[in-house]
Amino acid sequence: MSAPSPAVSSATPPASRLAGGLADRLADPGLFIERAFIGGAWVGAENGATLSVDDPATGAAIGTVPACGTAETEAAIAAAEAAWPAWRARPAAERADLLERWYALMMENAADLARLMTAEQGKPLAEAMGEITYGAGFIRWFAGEARRIDGLLLPAPTADRRILVQKEPVGVCAIITPWNFPNAMITRKVAPALAAGCTVVIKPSELTPYSALALVALAERAGIPHGVINIVTGLAPAIGAALTASPVVRKLSFTGSTAVGALLMRESAATIKRLSLELGGNAPFIVFDDADLDAAIAGVMASKFRNAGQTCVCANRIFVQAGIHDRFVERLAAAVRGLTIGNGFTPGVAIGPLISPAAVQKVGGHIADALALGAENVTGRNDDVDPQRFVSPVVLTGATAAMRVAREETFGPVAPVFRFDDEDEAVAAANDTPFGLAAYYYTGSLSRGFRVGEKLAFGMVGLNTGSVSLEVAPFGGIKQSGLGREGGPTGIDEYLALKTMHVGLTA
Ligand code: NAP
């Protein structure tokens, strides 16, 4: 495998070409980068081709990135392979120090990273700032975990034998991430990979490459050696096929849709790669009659409307017990009427654009389907926004299992409310999905809290909280929501292989 001659190559990222553009909104314009990063060089595609990146709030072009494909991906894999022996040989404490320096640079540049994110992803600036802190938290967490990679000395069956187990980095890792958390989905994978002693090739979503490229530039400034982190932007099927076909790539960590996760799993079969798959969800949010209503409203607002409803752990189906149903709906509708919609850069905006006109169409289709099947819109908003790019937040009552909002991940600011009578009915309805990522439930009863929590078939359950994602705790799903866990004390294991050493004491 040989590195191609890139169309443009430089040791430092070139500043933006766009005067008056996004770079001018940054304290450090050097963080707006329109190049891929392979083996320590900022490069264009071999054939010079580029892809446009657009502002989801307006559709205006922000800039371009290289349309990399097979050749550039193979060069990135070769660079990661070449960098691996030296990186894995570094003492864990040195890898940890470098990760901590990267963390510090992320926090110093948080405002610029947030601006890049709002520009390309659309989420409100305050939310983007929140994601930078959350994403940086994984780097700090795994810097600590690097220092704690340990092994085992097992009791041997005979006196002349010793059995040791050591943990080794799995090797070159492919990292494929979605657009909805353009920063944290990368740090949640790259930080444990680097902490373990692996090297990586990242493919960010073509919709949100600038957050990823700025992160990589900060990693370079932190002193992470060339080749340890490589990033290719561009054509997803070609890049994905090159990554999965390569025998050098020993692991794939993917976050995205279940359909693409299944495709990558199939493509990885020939080379028997280790896989971590963080896929789609269809989270239930159950409110029992004995719940604290204020807490349940706060929880559902946080869970449902963050990132305009475009998160894998968003409450997708809201089940409310008959005794509290009407009060809950009234309070929820009032809270949703109070949400300001608009450009994420406008202060006070809580709901930004959806990622694309196609996403707006899909969410609109879910709303229309529910209304046609008897649901009622109780929010009554009439927002002055571009209907191609924005969806007004809406509460729908009278939702039923026959509707698309019950079966599919809506990924938009739509809160369908299902009325239920008893606990068994709610649990059965909540579990009636092929997905198993996150579930939430609110109750004042301790015994119900344990009983329901144990019956919910999901990787994460939130009891009286609408938030289940922190760097200190395992994150991940069961069923068609994926394989493996990210973050927490076990997150680094995804990037480590066990080696058992049997020693015969012969002399
Ligand atoms: P997606 O379409 O599956 O894309 C995810 C990533 O895969 C992107 O980088 C995409 O590239 C890439 N990709 C698409 N087709 C590919 C192919 N043939 N080969 C290789 N890579 C390919 O998902 P999305 O729409 O970006 O994200 C939304 C989904 O992610 C939702 O289902 C959500 O629930 C899920 N998600 C899950 C978690 C979790 O932790 N479980 C977290 C966040 C999101 P391009 O964008 O460049 O096409």
Q: What is the per-residue pLDDT across 170-202, written as a single tens digit (0 to 9) for each?
A: 999 999 999 999 999 999 999 999 999 999 999
| 241 Cα nearest atom in ligand 1 | 19
C-alpha to C-alpha distance for 469 and 467, rounded to whole angstroms: 6
Tokens read off for 364 = 């609109």
Distance 358 CA to ligand 1 centre (A): 15
DSSP 24: G
User: From the CB of 245, is ligand 1 less than 6 Å away?
Assistant: no
Nearest CA to ligand 1 atom 12: 236
Distance 491 CA to ligand 1 centre (A): 20
| CB-count burial class (<10 Å; 0-12, 13-18, 19+) for 301 | buried
* Residue of 65, 138, 180, 211 best suited for mutating to test ligand 1, as the one with most atoms within 8 Å of CB: 180
Nearest CA to ligand 1 atom 26: 178
pLDDT of residue 11: 56
Distance 256 CA to ligand 1 centre (A): 3
Give the pLDDT confidence of 264-294 residue by residue, as tens digits. Answer: 999 999 999 999 999 999 999 999 999 999 9
Does pLDDT of 5 surpass 90?
no
Q: How confident is the model at residue 9 (pLDDT cuts 50, 70, 90)?
A: low
C-alpha to C-alpha distance for 447 and 459, rounded to whole angstroms: 20
Percentage of the chain beyond pLDDT 70 is 96
| 355 Cα nearest atom in ligand 1 | 25
* Core vs surface per residue 410-440: b (16+ CB within 10 A) or e: bbbbbbbbbbbeebeebbebbeebebbbbbb
User: From the CB of 393, is ligand 1 less than 6 Å away?
Assistant: no
* Core vs surface per residue 212-222: b (16+ CB within 10 A) or e: bbbbbbbbbeb
169 Cβ partners below 8 Å, 6+ apart? 84, 88, 196, 197, 198, 495, 496, 497
Considering only CA atoms, which of 46, 390, 415 is closest in space to residue 232?
A: 46
Distance 251 CA to ligand 1 centre (A): 17
User: From the CB of 253, is ligand 1 less than 6 Å away?
Assistant: no
* Core vs surface per residue 352-390: b (16+ CB within 10 A) or e: bbbbbeebbebbeebbeebeeeebebbbeeeeebeeebb
Are 477 and 432 spatial neighbours (Cβ–Cβ below 8 Å)? no
Residue type at 399?
A
Give the pLDDT confidence of 330-348 residue by residue, as tens digits. Answer: 999 999 999 999 999 999 9
